[in-house]
Structure 1
């Protein structure tokens, strides 16, 4: 399976069935290799993948992330195998440990230590088989990245910088997927771009998993206070005209990314801006 140089990442819970199908077909026609989507409070991950795969013919579809607390390991294995068998081998199972509020508050499970929990989950998926499953981990810290390199095809880091990409590459090694998500806002009004970025990032800034990683890769507590410093927002959401955004996106490839997942940041419901960004950045 080849992910392609570029993919897209989009918050699918905002869209209905027709909008999802249209978006998937559009990014496929633009030449993007893989469509990545989250699993949060809305669509169930595998059901959504089936819809996206049925709506396209060549586009890979990747869960980013499928919550390991949402289904047991055997169900995840069988779901992954089924989606690939019925859709020409185009599904990637991106797995993550999620966050305490989403696991304990929403689902009512106990949130276990991330590394042992993920290791046990992979043990369940890979039990009694030598199949090289198309699995990647939503890995941020060194230990999870190391596990991704040893047990899966690679990692799908989220909310990171090229500095993190270089670190991840050094841990994963040369032959693993490093599919990096990067938020963008093709907007030359810097104040507007930053306002959109702060709104988009606000829900992530309350989650310790992300905050700890941002501190680990060079941001400070002050950068994360009061909605985020300009330095932080500008790093998390690349803005400017299309040429400027492309140049900054390429820094991830220089740092070692094998695949880049572009997530457009736009005003709620402004699908024209979303589509324009996808079109403008398709040749990055």
Structure 2
């Protein structure tokens, strides 16, 4: 990543949580463990309440959305929310937007590429800087758009093999921040159970954007049934001890990632402790 991709300081690793899980105590705990950024999934772009809470509770932690859905959050209202956060905590918020899934968003989501361009046009008019936004991207066309009209890309549900391909598409300059799911467990069976839990909605709903991306990575339809094959689960969810998880997510950096948001498949009451153990392993590498 070039120094000019975004002025928001993300650090090497962040934590990805659903916006509904975020509390002031969780944000402070993750900051204390040394994570550079907190990514908020399924964020309400018109309000961005989770981001407000996290920024108010911390001193140095950056906050990003992963993502605001362009079909459900009005672009002008989202821009206004961005400016409120920028006034609250200058330089610490990164706006991530994406087109979501046709299966969840209905017939309106038939032209996501054009809809994304239209949304970005509004953000331009409302003064949201290009280097303060990232796009959810999986396919090469959306990846290229993220390099042209944003600071870069925040791909979701990917592995290091994908990261290597995405970096080739993006080139050296843009930000690449791939999410990776993690499950801290001592038992192989529990790891697979949590991994299936983390992938269930995408496989059960047959979300084609993810299934197509899995196919590009060499997986087959047989990998998508019965909760997912062990091969798929191992590729998409880093499981096991803190050291094993750290070794797996580090592979994203070797493949060209700039920053990796780790997505714990754990309950809110476990998150700070789990991510603290993983942070210790990451620092020791």
Whether these two folds match at TM > 0.5 is yes
Q: What CA distance in whole angstroms lies between the structure 1 residues aligned with 2:145 and 2:70?
A: 15
* Contact in 2 for aligned 1:83/1:89 (Cα 8 Å): no
Task: Give the drift of 1:131.
Answer: 3.8
Unaligned runs of 5+ in 1: none
Whether 1:26 aligns to 2:29 is: yes
TM-score by length of 1: 0.89
* Kept after mapping to 1: 8 A contact 2:47/2:81: no
TM-score (norm 2): 0.89
Mapped pair 1:277 → 2:280: no
Q: Which residue of 2 aligns with 1:236?
A: 236
- What SS is found at the alignment partner of 2:261? strand
Q: Find 1:66's aligned residue among 48, 65, 68.
A: 68
Mean CA deviation greater in 129-138 or 163-172: 129-138
Alpha-carbon RMSD across the aligned residues, in angstroms, is 2.0
Mapping of residues 1-284 of structure 1, within 5 Å: 1-13=8-20, 15=21, 20-39=23-42, 46-104=48-106, 110-127=108-125, 131-205=129-203, 206=205, 207-266=207-266, 268=267, 271-272=269-270, 274-283=271-280, 284=282
Residue-by-residue CA offset, 1:94-153 (whole Å, 9 max, x unaligned): 00101234323xxxx722311111111112211385944400001111111010011100
Contact 1:45–1:66 (8 Å) recurs in 2: no
**Does structure 2 retain, via aligned residues, the 8 Å contact 1:3–1:259?**
yes
| Whole-Å separation in 1 of the counterparts to 2:239 and 2:214 | 19
Contact preservation (8 Å) 1:186, 1:277? yes
CA deviation profile, 1:176-225 (whole Å, cap 9, x unmatched): 11111111112131111101110121012222221111111111111111
Distance across 2 between alignment mates of 1:128 and 1:67: 18
1:182/1:237 contact within 8 Å kept: yes
64-73 or 220-229, which deviates more: 64-73
SS at match of 2:221: coil
Name the CA distance, whole Å, in 1 between partners of 2:223 and 2:174.
32
The size of the alignment, in residue pairs, is: 272
